Amino acid sequence: MLNPWETTDIKDYNKLIEEFGITPMKPTKELMDNRYFRRGIIFGHRDFFKFWNADKRSILTGIMPSGPMHLGHKMVVDQCVYYQNKGIKTRIAIADVEAITTRRIPEEKAREYAVEEYLLNWVALGLDLDKADVYAQTNRSVPYYRLASLLSGRTTMAEMQAIYGELTPGKVTSIFIQASDILHPQLDEYDGLEHVLVPVGVDQDPHIRFVRDLAEKIHFIKPSSTYHRFMTGLEGGKMSSSVPNSYLALNDDLPTALKKASNVLTGGRNTAEEQRRLGGDISKCVVYELYAYHFIEDDDELKKIYEDCTSGKMLCGECKQILKKKVEEFMTDLKNKREANREKVEQFAKEKLFK
């Protein structure tokens, strides 16, 4: 069972595909300008191509403001920016209701996280606030809340428990609010029937299945979804918001970020001699994963690292220096962009998001 409220450690994506009826992603040529598609990081979908080929379409995702934004969250934002740059209407829900009701985060704290951790970084990562529809769940419209309320009459407790397991009142509320996130774009008060894509991590699939069933019941177009792989924790194991050393937070200060980069798990062998002979064990290497997911866009550059590693030409010490340089550039640039946009973002939050 996938639990959308706990960090999952997934070893076998093929099994997931079989068990939950996710379609393996076979990206077309057009999508190859995106590294998540090109590198198989987005490994599965539901009805993606119905969305992709539709005339009327939009994307929507939601992020819970319950702690630091890290590289795992960045994956969703990068995808949103990609679609937005293609001219596709982009909506982002700040899931503060979910943070408040399922994580017991105080409302004020959720708002602070929403701006300091999320919005500022989204904009720094390239999201165009003027063109996107960014909203907070606590502050959407009457039709959105009406939809959330009415959807609760379209299911049973047994159906919900089969999908989610144990429920609390807070989870039930946030499930219907989230269903409304995904379905409300199709209300007449918004854009009417259209294909909505929801790019998420695969832990969110229970939500997607639930919402697709609801969509059918109210004669809306079933939302499409894509699923990306989880990142491994920096020191191996799972990347988890409750273990600061397992992730690089976008707001980490530079010394912290560089220290984390130094400690990233490599695929290094026991001795330099052995590594020269056998090459690095790159399939276990989190440094390489960081390059592939985030820090190296150019395929030739990535291929060179792959070859130098597996041939034993380059050792992990040298490779980590490259990583640290990439991390430093990325973090410095991001920080500059956050500060350059701070005034604008804070004004947006005050006047539009939490008005």
Residue ranges binding ligand SF4 (CB under 6 A) = 266-268, 280, 282, 285, 287-288, 305, 309, 314, 316, 319
Least distance to ligand TRP, CB of residue 156, Å: 21
Least distance to ligand TRP, CB of residue 63, Å: 6
DSSP 8-class letter at 44: E
Count of residues near ligand TRP by CB under 6 A: 15
Half-sphere exposure at residue 254, Cβ-oriented, CA atoms within 13 angstroms = 12
CA–CA gap between residue 325 and residue 282 (Å, rounded): 20
Cβ(18)–Cβ(246) below 8 Å: no
178 sits near ligand TRP (criterion: CB under 6 A) = yes
Residue whose beta carbon is closest to ligand TRP: 62
Task: Choose among ligand TRP, ligand SF4, none what residue 62 binds, the Cβ cut-off being 5 to 8 Å by kind.
Answer: ligand TRP
Candidate segments 25-33, 38-46, 197-205, 331-339, binder of ligand TRP by CB under 6 A = 197-205
Least distance to ligand TRP, CB of residue 281, Å: 32
**The length of the chain, given as a count of residues:** 355
Candidate segments 56-64, 287-295, 301-309, 311-319, binder of ligand TRP by CB under 6 A = 56-64
Label residues 101-136 b or e (16+ Cβ within 10 Å = b).
Answer: bbbebeeebbbebbbbbbbbbbbbbebebeebebbb
| Residue number, 122 or 295, with CB nearest to ligand SF4 | 295
Least distance to ligand SF4, CB of residue 315, Å: 6
- How distant, in Å, are the alpha carbons of 181, 200, 276 from that of 160? 18, 20, 54
Task: Choose among ligand TRP, ligand SF4, none what residue 105 binds, the Cβ cut-off being 5 to 8 Å by kind.
Answer: none
Candidate segments 49-57, 58-66, 104-112, 299-307, binder of ligand TRP by CB under 6 A = 58-66
| Residue number, 96 or 327, with CB nearest to ligand TRP | 96
Candidate segments 92-100, 115-123, 248-256, 258-266, binder of ligand TRP by CB under 6 A = 92-100
CA–CA gap between residue 285 and residue 322 (Å, rounded): 14
- How distant, in Å, are the alpha carbons of 65, 119, 129, 253, 266 from that of 346? 16, 9, 12, 21, 39
SS3 24: strand
SS3 161: helix
Using CB under 6 A, pick the residue from 22, 69, 95, 183 that binds ligand TRP. Answer: 95
- How distant, in Å, are the alpha carbons of 63, 124, 318, 335, 355 from that of 331? 21, 11, 20, 6, 31
Least distance to ligand TRP, CB of residue 238, Å: 15
Structure tokens at 133: 């529809």
CA–CA gap between residue 263 and residue 285 (Å, rounded): 12
CA–CA gap between residue 15 and residue 172 (Å, rounded): 28
| Residue number, 37 or 288, with CB nearest to ligand SF4 | 288
204 sits near ligand TRP (criterion: CB under 6 A) = yes
Span 25-44, contacts to ligand TRP by CB under 6 A: none
SS3 63: strand
200 sits near ligand TRP (criterion: CB under 6 A) = yes
64 sits near ligand TRP (criterion: CB under 6 A) = yes
Using CB under 6 A, pick the residue from 41, 42, 100, 198 that binds ligand TRP. Answer: 198
175 sits near ligand TRP (criterion: CB under 6 A) = no
What residues make contact with ligand TRP under the rule CB under 6 A? Answer: 4, 60-64, 93, 95, 98, 178, 181-182, 198, 200, 204
